[in-house]
Amino acid sequence: MAVSQYIYCTKPNRETRRTTNAKEGVMGAIQINEELLADSDFFNDEARRAQLVAMFKFDQRRVILGEGALDRLAGECERLGAGRVFLIHDPGIPALAERVRSALAGLEVVGSYSEIAPNPSVASVDNCARALAEAEFDVAVALGGGSTMDTAKSALCVAACGGSVADYFGFDKFDKPPLAPLVGIPTTAGTGSEASRVTVVADDTGKQALYADYLQPKAALVDPLLHSDLPPVLTAITGLDALGHALECTASQKSNEIGDAVARVALAAGCPAYARAVAGGDQEARYEMARCALLSGLLLSPINTGAGHALGYGIEKISFERGKPVPHGTAVAMVLPGVMRHNAPAVADKYYFAAGAAGLDLGGKSREQGVELMAGWIDGLRREHTPYGALADADLRAEDIPRMVEIAMGVRRLLDPNPVEVSADDAAVIYGGVLV
CA distance 205 to 315: 13
pLDDT for the residue numbered 9 = 55
Count of domains forming the chain: 3
- Do the beta carbons of residue 167 and residue 146 sit within 8 Å? no
pLDDT for the residue numbered 46 = 81
Element housing 62 (H / E): strand 62-66
Look at residues 194, 211, 227 and tell me which one is the last residue of a structural domain.
Answer: 227
One-letter identity of residue 256: N
The verdict on 185 and 239 lying in the same domain is no
The verdict on 269 and 388 lying in the same domain is yes
Which domain CATH number covers 158?
Answer: 3.40.50.1970
The verdict on 223 and 246 lying in the same domain is no
The verdict on 326 and 390 lying in the same domain is yes
Which domain CATH number covers 352?
Answer: 1.20.1090.10
The verdict on 136 and 264 lying in the same domain is no
User: Which residues have a Cβ under 8 Å from the Cβ of 9 and sit 6 or more positions away?
Assistant: 22, 23, 24, 33, 35, 36, 64, 65, 66, 291
Closest to 277 measured CA to CA, from 264, 292, 288, 291: 288
CA distance 391 to 432: 9
pLDDT for the residue numbered 310 = 98
Q: What is the pLDDT along the chain (436 residues), one digit of tens a residue?
A: 234 344 555 555 434 333 323 333 222 222 344 467 766 788 878 888 888 888 988 778 888 999 999 999 999 999 999 899 999 999 999 999 999 999 999 999 999 999 999 999 999 999 999 999 999 999 999 999 999 999 999 999 999 999 999 999 999 999 999 999 999 999 999 999 998 999 999 998 888 999 999 999 999 999 999 999 999 999 999 999 999 999 999 999 999 999 999 999 999 999 999 999 999 999 999 999 999 999 999 999 999 999 999 999 999 999 999 989 999 999 999 999 999 999 999 999 999 999 999 999 999 999 999 999 999 999 999 999 999 999 999 999 999 999 999 999 999 999 999 999 999 999 999 999 999 9
DSSP classification of residue 121: B
Sheet holding 170-171, edge to edge: 170-171, 206-211, 198-203
